[in-house]
Amino acid sequence: MTTTATPQRAQQSANVIIALLVGSAFVMILNETVMSVALPALISDLHITARTAQWLTSGFLLTMAVVIPMSGALLQHFSVRSIFLGSMTSFCTGTLIAAMAPGFPMLLAGRIIQACGTAVMMPLLMTTVMRLVPTDRRGQTMGTISIVIAVAPAIGPTLSGLILGSLNWRWMFGIVLPIALTAMAAGLAWLRVGDEVQDKSPIDPVSVPLSAVAFSGLVYGLTLMGSSEHESLPAWVPMVIGAVAMIAFGARQVQLQRRDRAFLDLRPFTHRRYTVSLGLVILGFMALFGAIIMLPLYVQDVLGRSPLIAGLTSLPGGLLMGLAGPLVGRIYDRRGARVLVIPGSVLLCVALCGFTTLTARSPIAELVVLQTIMMVGLSMMFTPLMTDALGALPDRFYAHGSAIMSTLQQVGGAAGTALFVTIMAKASHAGGAPDMPGVHAAFVVAAGISVVAVVASLFVDPRVVASSARDVP
């Protein structure tokens, strides 16, 4: 009786911990895209230009790109409880500052502090799942996590549109703050993970600035490339600086790996299963974030609909993706990744090819159907790929593998946004402003990327991950 009760209590405790982390991460990731519909209101209320207002999103993404690569080292140097409380404290502080900001500088500072907390939460969540959940249930649990990583960004614009329909923009932060404070209080009371700090050596002081310059340079360059306004700094300048720093950063990590002291261990890339899955996740995030930016532009500037309508078009697909996540996870636990990823990539391809047929007179219902098909296809890809990638790694690489994945998700999302917006601006007949020829050209390129994803899905390993508990050099 006692031997049965002990594992049951351990599993119940693990479920409470994961539920707490999932709920907290959902609230935090939601803020990544919640500002997109609010920019016109902020421009008017704070008396700023569109270029200045865009930094509320760009600054958030840049901070994420700098902090996420550090999460691998943080997860090995500090306990889950300490990182969770630090993350939530940062997020709540930033949210409070943003809600009370008297002007743009303070609002931007609040967003940056928010992003510092958000950046650590997803790697913490994925690493904790891999440590606490048995191998045969990881797919189902990661399916729940897919609600966070894909649905939250998708419904952010919808939530923003609903709030702005009747309330001031400050309520976007005011509504979130008590929820985040409740989650932090719950973590303070319930979060007990019996993990020991794995590495007590000091964090490499050379790798930290190299990582910051490398990832922020790449994301900033991609952001400038995707800007529809003229910028004084050419996009290639920060991208070249970021690329040079990235080479130096990689060389430094290879050197440190020989002594098991890497700031961000790159050895997960030596596992083919991890690398193939990660490549497909990046392609999926390019499509997801590209669609998040392109579809509202199409609805508002081409179809002439309101921001609220633009936000609501993504809601059915986001909700269905959330509902499909746990089911997809259960199928993965029984059948593996390949049986889901191949049809998922085909659905993604069908949806993006369907977007190329849209016109300036297409009904909203057609757009909603295509967007929903895309989200279902992505749900069939993200959960199996993320679970398969991390499941293929030895225990000691979980933290670094999840940090790499979370970082490259951000880079992939920024690259998708930059690519589609740049192509749209170049192909538009209205001086760079969104119009049907520009939107059509962007959708054609998106369809081409989805074809690459279909081909790449054929290389996914058909075998089910049996166990990842063993460690290897």
Strand, helix or coil for residue 231: coil
Average pLDDT, the chain: 83
Cβ atoms of 126 and 390 closer than 8 Å: yes
CB count in 10 Å sphere of residue 435: 19
CA gap 203, 372 in Å, rounded: 44
Question: What residues contact residue 145 under an 8 Å CB cut-off, 6+ apart?
Answer: 22, 25, 125, 126, 129, 325, 383, 386
How would residue 114 be classed by pLDDT, with cut points 50, 70 and 90? very high
Among candidate residues 350, 377, 338, the one with its CA nearest the CA of residue 456: 338
Q: What average pLDDT does the segment 289-296 reach?
A: 77
Residue among 460, 467, 314 at smallest CA distance from 380: 460
Average pLDDT over residues 187-194: 75
Percent pLDDT > 70 in the chain is 89
The answer to whether 98 touches 78, Cβ cutoff 8 Å, is: no
What is d(CA 418, CA 405) in angstroms, rounded to the nearest whole number? Answer: 20
CB atoms within 10 A of CB 81: 16
Backbone angles phi, psi at 430, to 5 degrees: -110, 40
- C-alpha to C-alpha distance for 41 and 168, rounded to whole angstroms: 9
Lowest mean pLDDT, pick from 94-103, 286-295, 319-328, 463-472: 463-472
Query: Is the pLDDT reported for residue 236 higher than 70?
Result: yes
How many whole angstroms separate alpha carbon 84 and alpha carbon 441?
Answer: 43
Residue 80 has pLDDT above 90, yes or no: no
What number is the average pLDDT over the span 329-341? 90
Task: Give me the percent of the chain exceeding a pLDDT of 90.
Answer: 28
Residue bearing the bigger pLDDT, 97 or 56:
97
Choose which CATH entry (1.20.1250.20, 1.10.490.10, 2.60.40.180, 1.25.40.80) describes domain 9-192+199-457.
Answer: 1.20.1250.20
Cα–Cα distance, 205 to 6 (Å, whole number): 43
Calculate the alpha carbon distances from 239 to 7, 208, 229 in Å.
Answer: 50, 18, 18
Look at residue 4 and tell me whether its pLDDT is greater than 80.
no
CA atoms within 13 A on the CB side of 279: 18
**Are the beta carbons of 418 and 228 closer than 8 angstroms?**
no
Interval 154-182 mean pLDDT: 82
Confidence of residue 73 (pLDDT cuts 50, 70, 90): confident
Q: If you average pLDDT over residues 283-293, what whole number do you get? A: 81
The whole-angstrom distance between residue 100's C-alpha and the CA centroid of its chain comes to 27
The whole-number pLDDT of residue 473 equals 39
pLDDT of 468 strictly over 50 = no
The model's pTM is 0.79
- What one-letter code names the amino acid at 353? C
Which tokens sit at 327? 């089911």
Alpha helices, DSSP H, located in 31-103 = 39-46, 50-53, 55-77, 80-100
The angle that helices 398-427 and 364-391 make with each other, rounded to 10 degrees, is 150
Asked whether the predicted pLDDT for residue 2 surpasses 60, the reply is no
- The model's confidence at residue 11, banded by pLDDT at 50, 70 and 90, is low
pLDDT score for 452: 94
Helix (H) or strand (E) holding 391: helix 364-391
pLDDT digits (tens, 9 = 90+) for 385-408: 988 898 888 888 888 888 898 888
Give the mean model confidence (pLDDT) for residues 74-85.
85
Q: Can you give the pLDDT at residue 229?
A: 57
- Which two tokens mark 295? 């579809």
Q: Are 466 and 334 in contact (CB under 8 A)?
A: no
Task: Domain ranges for the chain, please list them.
Answer: 9-192+199-457
Would you state the pLDDT for residue 364?
92
Q: What is the C-alpha to C-alpha distance for residues 88 and 77, in angstroms, rounded to an integer?
A: 18
**Contact of 110 with 94, CB cutoff 8 Å:** yes
Q: Is 430 in a helix, a strand, or coil?
A: strand
Say if residues 122 and 134 touch (Cβ distance below 8 Å): no
- Is-contact 66 264, C-beta < 8 A? no
The residues with which 433 forms a beta bridge, in sequence order, are: 430
For residue 172, pLDDT beyond 70 = yes
Cα separation, 289 vs 33, whole angstroms:
10
C-alpha to C-alpha distance for 226 and 417, rounded to whole angstroms: 6
End-to-end CA distance of the chain: 40
Q: What are φ and ψ of residue 439, in 5° steps?
A: -65, -40
How much is the pLDDT for 274? 94
Nearest to 356, CA basis, from 438, 456, 452: 438
Mean pLDDT of 71-97: 89
